Structure 1
Amino acid sequence: MTTTLEPETPAAVEPPALGLHTDLSNEDYHADKTSLSSSGARKLLPPSTPAHFRYEQDHPQPPTKTFDYGNAAHKMVLGNGPELVVIEHDAWTTKAAKAEVAEARARGAIPLKQHEMDMVNAMADAIRRHPLASALLEPAYGAPEQSGFWIDEATGIRCRVRFDWLPSQQDGRLIIPDYKTTADASNEAMQRDIDKHGYNQQADWYETGARALGLGDHTAELLLIAQEKKPPYAVNVIGIEFGSRVIAGNKNRRAIETFAQCESTGYWPGYADTEPNYLALPGYAENRDKEMYL
């Protein structure tokens, strides 16, 4: 008689304990689907929707070149992250090159061309020459990639944060540096990026997380270290003004409540699903057409 063995059901993975973790891997941090992160909170709110958030949680996106550049720069600047592997082929279209790229990705490494490796090395050198950025990321006084988990008291939702860098001295006002790579680190461009990417929400989330984790003396401030990806790899250290962080705090509160509601009901809505959305022309178009047709 032939016995058919049923496939084993994978054992449930316990989420990380509450508190600060200094040695949790990036993979284990992101594997916790029971908690809400800053990027998740931003994905729950317009112009995105809970449906988009849920889909991305269930269907992780493959790495892109932009993603690779950012992670590689993080590794060189912060000193922690995946292995960087130079693929010694002029073009990655050959069978041999594709095999080497696939093998590197399979073991969690980031494949780079030689000029890309030179770029991230030059970026790290530029950070070390910058007086303020180098002081904020001084290895003798801090450590990279630390994770924290806490409970939002108002909803009971688990929240999480992964700090790029945490100072080891935490008995006073806590400064939290966060490293960003960008095409343009000027003040004007970064103002647009703060709005586009919700960096003010990230600042509020990280500062809230630091307080919840008992770091510092209950005062914390996130500073963005923005660096351009082309020579001279210019660096701009940026703080988020108070009013923008207040707005961000209200947005994060809405996101947490939305997450709690969706978790409770199991329903992750997209756009309008009970009433139609009535839309006007964009402001510039309405102003243009009013002059001609009204």
Structure 2
Amino acid sequence: MTTIAEPIAAGAPTLGIHADLSNTDYHADKTSLSSSGARKILAPSTPAHFRYEQDNPQPATKTFDYGNAAHKRVLGNGPELVVIEHDTWNTKAAKAEVAEARERGAIPLKQHEMDMINGMADAIRRHPLASALLDPAYGAPEQSGFWIDGPTGIRRRVRFDWLPSIQSGRLIIPDYKTAADASDDAMQRDIAKYGYNQQADWYEEAARALGLGGQDAELLLIVQEKKAPFLINVIGIEFGSRIIGGAKNRAAIEKFAECMSTGNWPGYGDEPNYLALPGYAENRDKEMYL
């Protein structure tokens, strides 16, 4: 196990909860590890991929634009949304307006995209459980937290989409996501693909470390489809899957601590990696040719 006394970068957020920390300042802290960062360190990615993305922020994509715009409308916090009043965006005038919006940190949208975002927000407000979990009278959006990991000494961080203000009873942490398909089958695949079980463990551990919800805090995903009727599926992560997520998080934390200590962020390795055929291909070819 690697243990380090993590240096605090100048201007890095102090430990504890930050109610008004901007998304930019949250992500600017390169000496701490987030849930998404932990997932990026582990295979099939590598620490080298993680470090590159930390040092080279990726350009905006439509998928991220839609997600961030929906967060703005649903949660009430985020960048300005700007409708670009042009039928197409390939003209010089349209490109200039899009560039100007992005330059000031806004999200440029076409009118039909804004209509979609507004429709999604309306559907959230009509959903009994989702609207209760995101009730502005009983919580606040985009709350950041920083704490020290006991076993390694590294700084860890979390940014809650929504943090309830009621501290009696069990703390339920809602996390809002958009998807093309929010069905149970699709979300099972997404839990594996995007590591949402790791996120659940990370956020629940953050709540305990930051003194927010005792020992039984739980993350619930509020997943909403991006096409009408903008259906919503509220999903909890099964206990066993969260245990696996916790084990993966611990491996990522240990690797991050090692990389921070050595300054080495490895990729796929410097020696040959000997690989077998995938199991299905090996079985098929054995039957046919051996």
**TMscore range, shorter length:** over 0.9
The residue number in structure 2 matching 1:279 is 275
> Which of residues 97, 100, 113 in structure 2 aligns to 1:100?
97
The answer to whether the 8 Å contact 2:40/2:49 transfers is yes
Matches within 5 A, 1:129-278: 129-273=126-270, 275-278=271-274
For residues 112 and 135 of structure 1, the distance between their equivalents in structure 2, rounded to whole angstroms, comes to: 29
Identity of aligned residues (%): 83
Gaps of 5+ in 2: 1-8
Deviation of 1:272 after TM superposition, in Å, equals 2.4
The answer to whether the 8 Å contact 1:172/1:217 transfers is no
The answer to whether the 8 Å contact 2:147/2:209 transfers is yes
Deviation of 1:14 after TM superposition, in Å, equals 1.4
Deviation of 1:13 after TM superposition, in Å, equals 3.8
**Does 2:81 correspond to 1:84?**
yes
For residues 136 and 100 of structure 1, the distance between their equivalents in structure 2, rounded to whole angstroms, comes to: 37
Aligned structure 1 segments of 4 or more residues deviating by more than 3 angstroms:
none
- Bigger CA drift: 167-176 or 62-71? 167-176
Give 3-state SS (helix, strand or coil) of 1:164's partner: strand
**Does 2:61 correspond to 1:64?**
yes
> Which of residues 26, 30, 36 in structure 1 aligns to 2:23?
26
Give the alignment's TM-score, normalised by structure 1. 0.94
Deviation of 1:276 after TM superposition, in Å, equals 2.5
CA deviation map 1:153-208 (0-9, x unaligned)? 10000000000001001232110000010000000000000000000000100001
- Bigger CA drift: 109-118 or 213-222? 213-222
Deviation of 1:219 after TM superposition, in Å, equals 1.6
Deviation of 1:217 after TM superposition, in Å, equals 2.4
The residue number in structure 2 matching 1:113 is 110
Give 3-state SS (helix, strand or coil) of 1:267's partner: coil
CA deviation map 1:49-101 (0-9, x unaligned)? 00000110111001001110000000001011000000000000011001100
Give 3-state SS (helix, strand or coil) of 1:127's partner: helix
Give 3-state SS (helix, strand or coil) of 2:59's partner: coil
For residues 90 and 288 of structure 2, the distance between their equivalents in structure 1, rounded to whole angstroms, comes to: 54
For residues 10 and 27 of structure 2, the distance between their equivalents in structure 1, rounded to whole angstroms, comes to: 13
Counterpart residue type for residue 229 of structure 2: P
Give 3-state SS (helix, strand or coil) of 1:284's partner: helix
Give 3-state SS (helix, strand or coil) of 1:125's partner: helix
**Does 2:273 correspond to 1:290?**
no
The answer to whether the 8 Å contact 1:86/1:117 transfers is yes
Deviation of 1:218 after TM superposition, in Å, equals 2.6
Deviation of 1:107 after TM superposition, in Å, equals 0.5
Structure with bigger gyration radius:
1
For residues 149 and 80 of structure 1, the distance between their equivalents in structure 2, rounded to whole angstroms, comes to: 20
Q: Cα RMSD (Å) of the superposition?
A: 0.9
Counterpart residue type for residue 98 of structure 2: V
Give the alignment's TM-score, normalised by structure 2. 0.96
For residues 145 and 215 of structure 2, the distance between their equivalents in structure 1, rounded to whole angstroms, comes to: 15
Count, aligned residues? 282
The answer to whether the 8 Å contact 1:170/1:217 transfers is no
Give 3-state SS (helix, strand or coil) of 2:175's partner: strand
Larger RCO, structure (CA 8 Å, separation 6 or more): 2
Deviation of 1:284 after TM superposition, in Å, equals 1.4
The residue number in structure 2 matching 1:38 is 35
Deviation of 1:287 after TM superposition, in Å, equals 1.6
For residues 19 and 216 of structure 2, the distance between their equivalents in structure 1, rounded to whole angstroms, comes to: 21
